Amino acid sequence: MAIGRQDWIARWTNIGDHHCLLGESNIKNGAVDEATEAWLCALTAFEVARRLVDEDDTRSADLSDRVVMGIQRLKSSLVRQIEQVKIAPCDESELLAYYLPAGDADAPAPAIICISMENETGATLLGRLLPVVIGRGMSVLVISHDDIPHQSRGQSEALLSCCLEYLSVRPDVDAARIGVFGEGLSAALATDLAASDRSVAAAVCDGGLWNWTRTRASISWITRAVDGAVERDATSARRAQLKCPALVVTGGRGIVSLSEAIRLQADCIAAGADLDLAVPRIIRSPGAEIENFVTSDDSIFGWLEHKLSSASGIGKVDQIITGDLAPRA
How is the chain split into domains, by residue range?
A: 1-78, 82-322
Alpha carbon distance 230, 228 (integer Å) = 6
Class level of CATH domain 82-322 = alpha beta
**What is the per-residue pLDDT for 321?**
55
Rounded to 5 degrees, φ, ψ at 249 are -95, 125
pTM listed for this prediction: 0.87
Mean pLDDT of the chain: 84
More confident residue, 197 or 289: 197
- The pLDDT tens digits for 207-243 are 988 876 655 544 444 555 545 555 545 555 555 467 8
**What is the per-residue pLDDT for 317?**
40
Residue 77, amino acid: S
More confident residue, 126 or 223: 126
Single out the residue of 63, 61, 28 nearest to residue 43, CA to CA: 63
**What is the per-residue pLDDT for 133?**
96
Alpha carbon distance 268, 238 (integer Å) = 9
- The pLDDT tens digits for 67-105 are 999 999 998 899 899 999 999 875 567 789 999 999 999
Give me the CATH code for the 1-78 domain, please: 1.20.58.80
Alpha carbon distance 298, 58 (integer Å) = 29
**Contact indicator for 122, 98 with CB cutoff of 8 Å:** yes
